[in-house]
Structure 1
């Protein structure tokens, strides 16, 4: 029976991973750590919160004493690190918070994992660390890091620290870099939930610039399966790109959701582009397919349809988020 520490476990991808892992490994001990910032929600893991092998800890990944205590109390042998400040616009407004959590917090975890002699440390990163692509080509695991926002720069810094702990101390670190995730429990500030929740309320949908920025879209459940493989089969010191093979412009994503909901495209409102907005991301995920046998199961159309259905059926969940953000 493994003892797994999952950081950022109440966030979007982290909570989906907790649910996924506990379905597949019901006898493993899962310690879910989260600071419960604006993006954390304990409701996300309600389905497992009462199980005997699950423990939630409210805490900060930069709290070295707490992290050390968890390693001692729980005999942690695997760490899956999701916790991060991740919203680009917020990183432009407050870069320091991103450096503290994403860089210093990651170093704190790496050091605790080194001292605790974990069997595997899986560091969850993003394709944004590679910067922006032109109209052709794909990010591979050997693409140089060229971050363009405070958020992606802080994630690139954490990636470098993770790699350094492998090279210097032999810590069994595996890094995964994913494309844009979507699916259940994603905070309403992100693109897909914004489109859905605004459309459901017949409110204008903001689209940056000309809407032609391209992203590769990955269903969160496919991502969770890739992370599970990184835990069980990933080779220490290696990086694995995880992509959905679903390149779409932002405008195409908006139009897909509106069509699914039967809403008019007149809801679209183009707004001034944000600073440093990368034009295109696209991932070459052949390595994880070739070496670990991973393949995405969701097509873009099926994944978006199911995601729209989830948000349409969970209005109370996202309405509470919006009311808290709006202070009502």
Structure 2
């Protein structure tokens, strides 16, 4: 059995990547922190590797011990990272520097895997083609306008700078599915008869169901691609209200008031929310980085290379995906 490590396994995407590895009969190691939740990592076949990406000495000790007892891994899916921070500098620490420390330690210990699959983001490219709504392609020049997107870009640039390093980069658009909490807030709001939209100008959105993202990543292992980057969506483009309309339908069409917030007002609210969060020392879902993401009008991207090179065929339309997440939220008592 090939051995695979999934870092960030306790998170939303990471837990599905672990399940995907088990389904494909890999020997799966879940990379977690000592205090990480293991709520969705209950399968008895899962083995655990505690990894501390904040301390170089500790991380080296952990990896040395693992190598001595179990050897290395054939594949590593690096999903660990940060998406919400009190200080913007923490994005750089949690995404770029932590990944760099991990790779440098793997190299030093001669533990570089056959493939190192990195979870980046479409946010790497920022707001481009905002006037003509053309699809973002791999030949476009990234122009991230968020601290999160910039930290992911720095990591991509670092990977590309490494000679002969076997990386594959994935840039998913908005990922949704069971266990995810940000899109859940939308469903909760609609259940309470309120929908919220950002700005009046046309906005083209893209999404990918978490199981389709898992499919794409494991296809890269199957096809043995190397030193490539791919956008990941479900292949369709949606208006700004499609997602909420589908949620409303699955909730039985409750009456609803839809507020369209002008971008200038949203910017003010985000600024206030971020500063309150800093005072409370608790990350806020709505902040200045989030405002820039909500302000962006064009989220189209070209997945043709993913389809042609890996044979990727998304199984979930947005309608099917929303149906599944609402059913899961209800089953789990979230709604």
Q: CA deviation at 1:156?
A: 0.8
Instruction: Determine which of 118, 122, 135 is the counterpart of 2:117.
Output: 122
Q: What is the rounded CA distance, in whole Å, between the counterparts of 1:298 and 1:260 in structure 2? A: 16
Q: How does 1:140-151 map to 2 (within 5 A)?
A: 140-151=137-148
Instruction: Tell me, yes or no, if the aligned pair for 1:139 and 1:283 is still in contact at 8 Å.
Output: yes
Q: How does 1:251-266 map to 2 (within 5 A)?
A: 251-264=241-254, 266=256
Q: How does 1:18-97 map to 2 (within 5 A)?
A: 18-25=18-25, 28-35=26-33, 41-46=37-42, 48=43, 50-51=44-45, 54-72=46-64, 73=66, 74=70, 75-86=72-83, 90-91=84-85, 93-97=86-90
Instruction: Describe the shift of the 1:99–1:223 C-alpha distance in structure 2 as closer, same or farther (beyond 3 A).
Output: same
Q: CA deviation at 1:62?
A: 3.0
Instruction: Tell me, yes or no, if the aligned pair for 1:148 and 1:278 is still in contact at 8 Å.
Output: no
Instruction: Describe the shift of the 1:300–1:208 C-alpha distance in structure 2 as closer, same or farther (beyond 3 A).
Output: same
Aligned length: 298
2:148 aligned counterpart, secondary structure: helix
Q: What is the rounded CA distance, in whole Å, between the counterparts of 1:15 and 1:212 in structure 2? A: 34
Instruction: Determine which of 184, 190, 201 is the counterpart of 1:199.
Output: 190
Instruction: Tell me, yes or no, if the aligned pair for 2:121 and 2:173 is still in contact at 8 Å.
Output: yes
Instruction: Tell me, yes or no, if the aligned pair for 1:123 and 1:162 is still in contact at 8 Å.
Output: no
Tell me the residue number matched to 1:326: none
1:183 maps onto 2:201 in alignment: no
Q: What is the rounded CA distance, in whole Å, between the counterparts of 1:35 and 1:267 in structure 2? A: 42
1:44 aligned counterpart, secondary structure: coil
Q: What is the rounded CA distance, in whole Å, between the counterparts of 1:160 and 1:7 in structure 2? A: 20
Normalised to the residue count of structure 1, the TM-score between the two structures is 0.83
1:61 aligned counterpart, secondary structure: coil
1:154 maps onto 2:165 in alignment: no
CA RMSD between the two structures: 2.3
2:315 aligned counterpart, secondary structure: coil
Q: How does 1:179-328 map to 2 (within 5 A)?
A: 179-186=173-180, 188=181, 190=182, 192-200=183-191, 202=192, 204-210=194-200, 212-264=202-254, 266-271=256-261, 272-274=265-267, 275-276=291-292, 277-315=295-333, 318=334
Range moving further from structure 2, 176-185 or 262-271: 262-271
Tell me the residue number matched to 1:102: 95
Q: CA deviation at 1:120?
A: 0.9
After superposition, the C-alpha distances for 1:296-322 in whole angstroms (9 at most, x for unaligned) are: 11111111111111111112xx58xxx
Instruction: Tell me, yes or no, if the aligned pair for 1:211 and 1:250 is still in contact at 8 Å.
Output: no
Range moving further from structure 2, 261-270 or 71-80: 261-270
1:239 aligned counterpart, secondary structure: strand
Flag the structure with larger Rg. 2
Q: What is the rounded CA distance, in whole Å, between the counterparts of 1:143 and 1:253 in structure 2? A: 27
1:177 aligned counterpart, secondary structure: strand
Q: What is the rounded CA distance, in whole Å, between the counterparts of 1:254 and 1:218 in structure 2? A: 15
Q: CA deviation at 1:246?
A: 2.5
